[in-house]
Amino acid sequence: MNIIVVGLSHKTAPVEIRERVAFSPTAMDKPLHEMTALPAISEGVIVSTCNRVELYATSRDVDAAVGQLKRFLSTYHGILKRFLSTYHGIPLEQLESHLYEYQGEEAIRHVFRVSASLDSMVIGEPQILGQIKTAYGYATEFKSVGLILNRFLHKAFSVAKRVRTETDIASNAVSVSFAAVELARKIFGTLDNKKVLLIGAGEMCELAARHFLNNGAASVMVTNRTYERAEKLAEEFQGQAIPFEEFPQKLHQVDIVLTSTGAPNFILGHDKVEEVIRQRKNKPMFFIDIAVPRDIDPKVNKIDNIYLYDVDDLQGVVQANLKERHKEAKKAEAIIDQEIGQFFRWLGSLDVVPTIVGLRKKLEGIRQGELQKTFANLKDLDKKERKAIEALTAAIINKVLHQPTTVLKQSQNDASGDRYVDAVRTLFNLETEATEE
């Protein structure tokens, strides 16, 4: 049985192509049923995110399965057609140049890399693992997975966990808003009990505030030229809205100031910030100016215990952290290499011939062990009698093995073969013994 991946991603297809083959995450029953009803497909999982659409399948006929999966992607209309009049299939000849296909060891490698976020737009992002787990959940709910994909995806999840545990691939901030949090933590040691002031209420300010609160900040004050917008954002964070003209009087009360107003001139100058730091008795303050043009006079950075970063500074931190993530990705690739070999050996063990050989070896070992104990207790047996007992036990083993061997051989060309093989290997503990050997 082979594992197959057919799909496309942000690396191979623009968004206008990806959206035309996307599946609705809340309506997976019908596509999963139709996918596994394809003649060459035994099991199937559909992963559909904003950055990739991938089909994971098992098949005994790789060429037929790949062709059927490609046609399925190009022609399946999906539930979205009910709601979007522009949603439609896409001719295979147009889609095919955007598709990739993997089988066997390369398919295993690809899914392990995707789960560990090594194939993501941002290496180390955590969302893709949850998305694959959700896709697997739908597949189990609608019974489109069996022995192999069940074991395979659980292995992918454990590989992703191992990568995150044994490397620092996700430890460095690679968004401007989270980089600000990382810098603040370096300045203050901890964000516990720290107070934040947002000057401006745009999306970046909102995201940064969320990161600060999630990392221990005590409270948020919000000011904006439009007071209603400040009130709305403050309410979202259970914070306090203050009129724009009053924020200079509140500065000494906060430890972190994040500003993004779009004002044409500086809204904070050297003299004002120097006055604030005196009011705070030189307790450190962190200013994050992500406005373009800038909101804070760069000379502010010369004041003792004032730490000012603008958007270029933060982008520099992000780029440095991305380089660190790429270094950690090399460690992750080594982990994946190890795990591929282990899983590929298990997959190979599901072949009928190794299972029959292993079963015969297991029973023959039991027979020889029992013969030795019997002969040790019956020392008066002559050579002829010993041979008769050996022939009798060998005949019993052959008769016991006849029916399982016949069933295994007959089932190797249909979907039941893997279930029989796995049952035999589990019942007779063949997998554990093969691993020990």
The single residue of 50, 121, 122, 353 carrying the catalytic annotation is 50
pTM of the model: 0.62
Both tokens assigned to 425: 């290997």
Contact at 8 Å (CB) between 40 and 70?
no
Those residues whose C-beta lies under 8 Å from the C-beta of residue 95, and which sit 6 or more positions away, are: 8, 17, 21, 70, 73, 74
At 198-213, the pLDDT tens digits run: 998 777 778 888 888 8
Residues 67 and 214 in one domain: no
pLDDT band at 317 (very low <50, low <70, confident <90, very high): confident
What is the pLDDT averaged over residues 3-26?
88
Sheet holding 285-289, edge to edge: 240-243, 219-224, 195-199, 256-259, 285-289, 306-310
Phi, psi for 47 (deg, rounded to 5) = -105, 115
385 or 20, higher pLDDT: 385
Residue 436 has pLDDT above 50, yes or no: no
Instruction: Please indicate, yes or no, if residue 282 is contained in any of the structural domains.
Output: yes
At 340-374, the pLDDT tens digits run: 988 877 776 666 777 788 888 889 999 999 999 99
Residues 69 and 181 in one domain: no
Residue 151 has pLDDT above 80, yes or no: yes
Instruction: Please indicate, yes or no, if residue 426 is contained in any of the structural domains.
Output: yes
**Lookup result for tokens 């982990």:** 335
What is the pLDDT averaged over residues 373-385?
90
Nearest to 249 by CA among 197, 186, 183, 177: 197
Which of 145-179 are b and which e, b meaning 16 or more Cβ less than 10 Å from the residue's Cβ? Answer: bbbbbebbbebbbebbebbbeebebbebbbbbbbb
Q: Using the 8-state DSSP alphabet, how is residue 231 labeled? A: H
Contact at 8 Å (CB) between 366 and 374?
no
Instruction: Please indicate, yes or no, if residue 338 is contained in any of the structural domains.
Output: no
The confidence score (pLDDT) of residue 199 equals 94
The residue among 166, 191, 223 that closes a domain is 166
Residues 160 and 224 in one domain: no
Among the ranges given (31-45, 389-403, 410-424), the one the predictor scored with the smallest mean pLDDT: 410-424
Backbone CA torsion sign across 161, 163, 165, 171: negative
At 26-68, the pLDDT tens digits run: 789 999 999 999 999 999 999 998 889 999 999 988 999 999 9
Contact at 8 Å (CB) between 117 and 126?
yes
Residues 160 and 196 in one domain: no
At 168-207, the pLDDT tens digits run: 887 765 667 778 888 888 899 999 999 999 998 777 778 8
CATH number, domain with residue 119? 3.30.460.30
Residues 186 and 42 in one domain: no
Sheet holding 43-48, edge to edge: 43-48, 52-59, 2-9, 100-103
Residues 297 and 388 in one domain: no
pLDDT band at 156 (very low <50, low <70, confident <90, very high): very high
DSSP characters over 345-362: HHHHHTSHHHHHHHHHHH
The confidence score (pLDDT) of residue 177 equals 73
Residues 121 and 264 in one domain: no
Residues 207 and 253 in one domain: yes
Residue 86 has pLDDT above 50, yes or no: no
Neighbours of 353 (CB within 10 A): 10
The residue among 166, 198, 229 that closes a domain is 166
Instruction: Please indicate, yes or no, if residue 221 is contained in any of the structural domains.
Output: yes
Tell me the residue range of the domain where 400 lies. 350-436
Those residues whose C-beta lies under 8 Å from the C-beta of residue 23, and which sit 6 or more positions away, are: 31, 46, 48, 53, 76, 78, 79
Q: Which residues pair with 338 in a beta bridge?
A: none
**Lookup result for tokens 């089909």:** 55
Q: How far is Cα 385 from Cα 209, in angstroms, rounded to an integer?
A: 87
Instruction: Please indicate, yes or no, if residue 337 is contained in any of the structural domains.
Output: no
Where is 366: in which H helix or E strand?
helix 352-377
Average pLDDT, the chain: 86
Contact at 8 Å (CB) between 123 and 169?
yes
The confidence score (pLDDT) of residue 78 equals 45
Residues 94 and 139 in one domain: yes
pLDDT band at 77 (very low <50, low <70, confident <90, very high): low
Those residues whose C-beta lies under 8 Å from the C-beta of residue 302, and which sit 6 or more positions away, are: 270
The residue among 134, 166, 198 that closes a domain is 166
Residues 160 and 180 in one domain: no
- Whether residue 25 has a cis bond before it, omega within 30° of 0: no
pLDDT band at 417 (very low <50, low <70, confident <90, very high): low
Instruction: Please indicate, yes or no, if residue 161 is contained in any of the structural domains.
Output: yes
Q: How far is Cα 4 from Cα 15, in angstroms, rounded to an integer?
A: 24
Residue 272 has pLDDT above 50, yes or no: yes
Task: Among 177-191, 371-385, 420-434, name the most confident range.
Answer: 371-385
Contact at 8 Å (CB) between 144 and 38?
no
**50 included as an active-site residue:** yes
At 217-255, the pLDDT tens digits run: 999 999 999 999 999 999 988 999 999 999 999 999 999
The confidence score (pLDDT) of residue 241 equals 95
Contact at 8 Å (CB) between 1 and 60?
yes
CATH number, domain with residue 234? 3.40.50.720
Residue 81 has pLDDT above 50, yes or no: no
Instruction: Please indicate, yes or no, if residue 341 is contained in any of the structural domains.
Output: no
pLDDT band at 320 (very low <50, low <70, confident <90, very high): confident
Residues 197 and 162 in one domain: no
Instruction: Please indicate, yes or no, if residue 336 is contained in any of the structural domains.
Output: no
Domain count, the chain: 3
Residues 304 and 380 in one domain: no
Both tokens assigned to 435: 């691993």
